[in-house]
Amino acid sequence: MIYTYQDGTPLPVQRDLIQDLRNYIQCLEQVLPLENSIIEMKDAETEKVQSLNRQITDLKNFRERLLEFFRQTQYGDVSGALSPCIDEMTQILNEAVRKNREELENNSNRIRRELNSTIDQRKEKILNCLSPFMISSIYGASREYHIEYTDQMTKGTLTGYISGLEYTYALTFPDEKITVKKLLGKLNLPHMARSGVFSKEEKPKMEDLSGYIVQEMRYSGPEDFLLVLGNRKNVFRIVCKNGFFSIYEDEQEITADETLFPLIDERELSEIPEKFVTYIRQNTPSFRLSGISVDEENALENNLIFDSMKIIAEQYCPIIQECMKRNNVKTEIVIKVQYEDGTRNEKYISKEEVYSSLANIGGEGLEIAGIIGVDTTSTRINNFYLIVWGPLSGPR
């Protein structure tokens, strides 16, 4: 499918903006009450715990005052007749204060446990709500895949970055180990090896890596990735930086060897990015959002989910504004969709509908309306930059 403005100009982000905007508003409606309830619970917990701590302090002070009274009384007791009584009362006091203090501390710990359990459940709901949205609907985000084979299992993450927002997905794979054959089909690399039974001379030899295991893969784009392949004997590293390849067998650089370099099949190397993305799209049954941070602070722990949503809205703003600018009806956000069979369709949402939906959320929704320019008071100058979504940026 091809997404365009109403005048036929392709959108800078090839996404269904109208559906993404609706999904974004729906996420806001669900996650903001959850985050606000977490904030309220934390405030209530702080107040309760502070009250219990004050009671503990009162007990401590009460004990000190009584002990001081006992000491003064015992000091004036010349005959010593009061000492046994004071000793017994001191024991009773200490035991009573200890029991009360333990009870207050237990109550404080119970409040924390119960609250943390409830908060953790609501954090999980936030992640579950945002997971299907953030995987593909954050425009302009840089993405990095990291796959690693450890403890007889292949694990992976997908991390996205945009304007201080970072979000991470845990990836699961059906294969315990990914071989070169599964990932790339075939790959041959040259290296120096001894030939013959008695000969000690090393000669160039093409190594078939089909059975090698993918030990690690980092992928930020077709011109920036790392691929580590290994078996029981050898480890090959393929490094692509700004489109330039460096290949190593252990610590020996193959691409720097005048004898080995001409034997490298550049076509096989150039196919790695596309085959990697294809494998990810076809063989990753689940993407689970596991963490969100803003300016390196945990968004769930520090109540920054709304800040995350504002950053996302800022990426939507220039395209929304451009849609209205290019549309004959300036109060509508309109895109056109061209399907693979050649048919075309127009999708739109009114500025009033977007504003009304956001206003129903409350003050935070009105703030978002101002960010994307659909509130009645905003005047937007069309000087926003437009973000380009790369062709190999992740699953659709």
pLDDT for residue 241: 94
Q: Are residues 40 and 109 in the same domain?
A: yes
- Could you tell me the pLDDT band of residue 386, with boundaries at 50, 70 and 90? very low
pLDDT for residue 140: 93
The share of the chain scoring above pLDDT 70, in percent, equals 92
pLDDT for residue 108: 83
What sign does the CA torsion over 352, 353, 357, 360 have? positive
pLDDT for residue 3: 94
Domain finish residue from 227, 253, 283: 283
What number is the average pLDDT over the span 325-331? 87
Q: Are residues 129 and 180 in the same domain?
A: no
Extract the tokens encoding 205.
Answer: 């030899």
The share of the chain scoring above pLDDT 90, in percent, equals 60
- Could you tell me the pLDDT band of residue 200, with boundaries at 50, 70 and 90? low
Q: Are residues 105 and 181 in the same domain?
A: no
Using CA atoms, how far apart are residues 219 and 136, in angstroms rounded to an integer? Answer: 17
Assigned domain for 214 exists = yes
Assigned domain for 108 exists = yes
38 Cβ neighbours under 8 A, 6+ residues apart = 119, 122, 123, 303
- Could you tell me the pLDDT band of residue 109, with boundaries at 50, 70 and 90? confident
Mean of pLDDT over the chain: 88
pLDDT of residue 396 exceeding 90: no
Q: What is the CA radius of gyration of the chain?
A: 32
pLDDT for residue 388: 39
- Could you tell me the pLDDT band of residue 305, with boundaries at 50, 70 and 90? very high
Domain finish residue from 267, 283, 299: 283
Assigned domain for 335 exists = no
350 Cβ neighbours under 8 A, 6+ residues apart = 331, 332, 333
Q: Are residues 129 and 184 in the same domain?
A: no
Using CA atoms, how far apart are residues 349 and 320, in angstroms rounded to an integer? Answer: 11
What number is the average pLDDT over the span 386-390? 40
pLDDT for residue 196: 60
Assigned domain for 15 exists = no
pLDDT of residue 77 exceeding 80: no
Bigger pLDDT: 193 vs 331: 331
> Whose CA is closest to 142, among 219, 216, 217?
219
> Whose CA is closest to 384, among 366, 369, 371?
371
Bigger pLDDT: 379 vs 153: 153
Which amino acid does the sequence have at 193? Answer: A
Phi and psi angles of residue 175, each rounded to the nearest 5 degrees, phi first: -95, 130
pLDDT for residue 242: 93
Assigned domain for 355 exists = no
66 Cβ neighbours under 8 A, 6+ residues apart = 93
Domain count, the chain: 2
Per-residue pLDDT reduced to its tens digit, 116-137: 889 999 999 999 999 999 999 9
- Could you tell me the pLDDT band of residue 88, with boundaries at 50, 70 and 90? confident
pLDDT for residue 321: 94
Q: Are residues 50 and 118 in the same domain?
A: yes
Q: Mean pLDDT check: name the lowest of 34-38, 69-73, 271-275, 279-283.
A: 69-73
The 3-class SS string of 220-242 reads EECCEEEEEEECCCCEEEEEEEC
Contact call for residues 389 and 14 (beta carbons, < 8 A): yes
Assigned domain for 329 exists = no
Q: Mean pLDDT check: name the lowest of 42-56, 248-262, 269-283, 312-326.
A: 42-56
pLDDT of residue 278 exceeding 50: yes
Domain finish residue from 283, 306, 322: 283
Phi and psi angles of residue 78, each rounded to the nearest 5 degrees, phi first: -70, -40
Assigned domain for 326 exists = no
Assigned domain for 365 exists = no
Domain containing 279 equals 174-283
pLDDT for residue 195: 67
